[in-house]
Chain A
Amino acid sequence: MIISKQSPISISRRMLWFTGIICALVIVIGPVYLLLKYSVSDINSINTGGNPVPMWPYNPTLQAYVYLFSDSHFYQVLLNSVVISLFTIALGMILGIPASYVLGRYKLPGRKVLLLMIISVRLFPDIASVIPVVEFFIKIGMHQTYLGVILAHTLLALPYIIFIGAGAFESIPDDLEGQAIILGANRFQTFFKLLFPLAMPGLAAAAIYTFLLSWDEFIFSYFLMLGKQEIYTLTLYLNGIKYAEPQNLLAAISVCLSIPVIAFSFMVQKYMVAGISAGSVK
């Protein structure tokens, strides 16, 4: 909104807005800043022996990162995390998009109940469902494998993908599909040229969510990978050194955990255009 007239009301309103925005920024940026600060601080600035912890990085140093990137296991773990989360997204989308298309676009009897049942899979706490799932995975020999972890993460993400996706497909006006059909498009053409692009914002949100989920999933990964360090993900790596003294190292790992998520969100964000269907009907 552009406020063109500088009336007293608009100025005080603007002040209010600015204050609100600044508060929001502090809440959002604050912890991230602390994390970044710790990760580049000298270890002495954290263990101050009772003195107040400085607000700014004390003796800025990249020592923690240098240490981290000299550890070959860390590279391996980083790569594992990337591979596992990308495959989880791919598998989740391949399975989730057709399901959400059908549940979102077709007036099937019992559709609502089915959706509810799908989402209710996630009503159990992970810690409760992990034992039977892992036991099953062990039985079919899938524990301690990439595929096993990917499947487990997909299992966790799929209900959300279907739920978000079905909502995205459902929100597309019926007239658009009817029009495409009258213009000669068959089901596939209608899907690929019309419905899929229009469901993109919702699907992108689902993809971001899936990435986040897989990237910092701990419980299933822990039970499935325990004892096989080569396939550890970042969360397990962090777990392994959580009692280590150098907090700046922990902070550095956390930064490394956060950056890809932020980067991925920014990449996918451009598909999440608000009001993509504006101007289509009415």
Chain B
Amino acid sequence: MADVVIRSLFKKYGNHRVIENLNLEIHDGEFVTLLGPSGCGKTTLLRMIAGLEPIDNGELFINGKLYNHIPPQKRSLAMVFQSYALFPHMTVRKNICFGMKIKKLSKSEMDRKFEWVINLLRLKELENRLPREISGGQRQRVALARSLVLDPEVLLLDEPLSNLDAALRETASEELKRIHRQLGKTIIYVTHNQVEAMTMSERIALFRFGRIEQYDKPRVLYDSPATVFSAEFIGSPKMNFYEGEIEIRNNVAGIKTDLAFLKLDKEREKTIFSMPGRKILAGIRPQTVYYTGHLLRRRYTDTEVEILAELVENMGDRSLVVGRTEAGTLIRFIITREEKIDQDKRMKIFIDGRRIHVFDPITQLNIFR
């Protein structure tokens, strides 16, 4: 077990800056996800922690020890590759015991650990099979087992679920969480799937162009995104964005957009009262828009908008509605299965003013953070 500290890290491939002045602290036993679109440098960072890529500049500490120049063989960490990288000519047993053999563990200890890990990961009766003879989910577990038997201080996982089908992915992610709880190891998990990141990790480091956009608990990332990028990347369906500016009407400050004059909660209203005319980018999550059916829940901070339901997409437990105002502005929102909406129907919807995200269009930063 160990904590990982990264200080002002740089990495370049030729002239392309992959990682730029990156700082990251991961606590002992924490499950941290590096989240971001492909090509944002998250896998590169993982490979640098593993020692497969040299560090151009900056420092990497594990357990307080400088790791920059420690060869990958001597780093007490393990990595599961996206491809699983099982050795194709070795049986499951030989794959799992590979690292222990290299480390020259005694036969009895090797057997003990092997037994432990195949019980932990339900790999019994597969030990004599070759990788090509087992399923994708089993391969993923073998790859994990091979890493866990070495008792690494830090476990690096590079998109371990991306090659599994949807159903298997859920099981496997639950299993990973269970293992993390059981073993309490520090886990650094790389993914581009925000749902995985939200459900599994204790903290998420959101990457963009080799820098960390926001590093916080999943809930915080969702509830108060620090930047427009965070707001866009986290949450599904995607947030609605409207350009506008602060205006004062009837002695109440709000944001004038193409969609409507958006009201905020009282506290934030007070703050923006002092900045009329300021340009704003307002973000509205599809989940914070309500339909007339919820009239009872109306608050004075709700903004009323009249729309035409152009498209209703049934998603089973809920539906996504794409609405258009008379002026032609689009808004996407979610309704529950009880609230039936017919396509091409005119209706009133209400936007929850307490949960509108307010960004500066130039700095892209959340004004209220």
Which A residues are closer than 8 A to B by beta carbons? 173, 175-176, 178-186, 189, 193-194, 197-198, 275-282
Contacts and interface: CB of A to CB of B under 8 A. Distances in A.
23 contacts: A173-B83, A173-B85, A175-B82, A179-B81, A180-B87, A181-B51, A181-B73, A182-B77, A183-B78, A183-B98, A183-B102, A183-B146, A184-B99, A184-B102, A185-B73, A185-B98, A189-B102, A193-B98, A194-B87, A279-B88, A280-B88, A280-B132, A281-B85
B78 A182 contact: yes
Contact of B84 (A181, A189, A278, A281): A281
B45 interface: no
Nearest to B103: A184
Contact of B85 (A179, A184, A185, A193): A179
Nearest to B76: A184
A279 B73 contact: no
A180 B98 contact: yes
A27 B136 CA distance: 43
Contacts of B89: 197-198, 276
Contacts of B132: 275, 278-280
Contacts of B50: 178, 182
A176 B85 contact: yes
Interface residues of B, number: 34
Nearest to A189: B102
Nearest to A273: B89
B114 to A, nearest CB: 14
A88 B115 CA distance: 47
Nearest to B152: A182
B90 to A, nearest CB: 9
B102 A175 contact: no
B94 to A, nearest CB: 10
Interface string B81-118: 11111111100000000110011000000000000000
Contacts of B295: none
A231 to B, nearest CB: 40
A279 B78 CA distance: 21
A175 B72 contact: no
Contacts of A281: 81, 83-86
B221 interface: no
B52 interface: yes
Given A279-B88, A281-B83, A185 B131 contact: no
A181 B52 contact: yes
Contact of B86 (A181, A189, A279): A279
Q: Which of A197, A277, A278, A281 has the most CB of B within 10 A?
A: A281
Contacts of A276: 88-89
Given A179-B81, A181-B72, A183-B78, A278 B98 contact: no
A280 B87 contact: yes
A175 B88 contact: no
A51 B331 CA distance: 95
B130 A279 contact: yes
B134 A279 contact: yes
Contacts of B87: 176, 179-180, 194, 280
Most chain A Cβ neighbours within 10 Å, of B51, B81, B82, B131: B81
Q: 5 tightest A-B contacts by CB?
A: A279-B132, A279-B131, A281-B83, A183-B99, A280-B88
Contact of B83 (A180, A193, A194, A282): A282
B79 interface: yes
Contacts of B77: 182
A75 to B, nearest CB: 40
A278 to B, nearest CB: 4
Interface in B41-57: 47, 50-52
A178 B52 contact: yes
Nearest to B78: A182
A186 to B, nearest CB: 6
B85 A178 contact: yes
A175 B77 CA distance: 16
Residue in B50, B72, B139 whose Cβ sees the most chain A Cβ within 10 Å:
B72
Contacts of B133: 279
A181 B52 CA distance: 8
A232 B150 CA distance: 58
B329 interface: no
A200 to B, nearest CB: 8
Nearest to A281: B83
B325 to A, nearest CB: 47
Contact of B139 (A184, A197, A277, A279): A279
B64 to A, nearest CB: 22
Contacts of A279: 86, 88, 130-134, 139
A177 B73 CA distance: 12
A136 B52 CA distance: 47
Contact of B79 (A173, A176, A179): A179
Contacts of B314: none
B163 interface: yes
Contacts of B72: 181-182
B294 to A, nearest CB: 47
Contacts of B84: 280-282
Contacts of B98: 180, 183, 185, 193
A185 B103 CA distance: 8
Nearest to B129: A279
A114 B133 CA distance: 39
Nearest to A200: B89
Given A275-B132, A278-B132, A279-B133, A182 B52 contact: yes
B83 A175 contact: yes
Contacts of B102: 183-185, 189
Contacts of A277: 88
Interface string B172-201: 000000000000000000000000000000
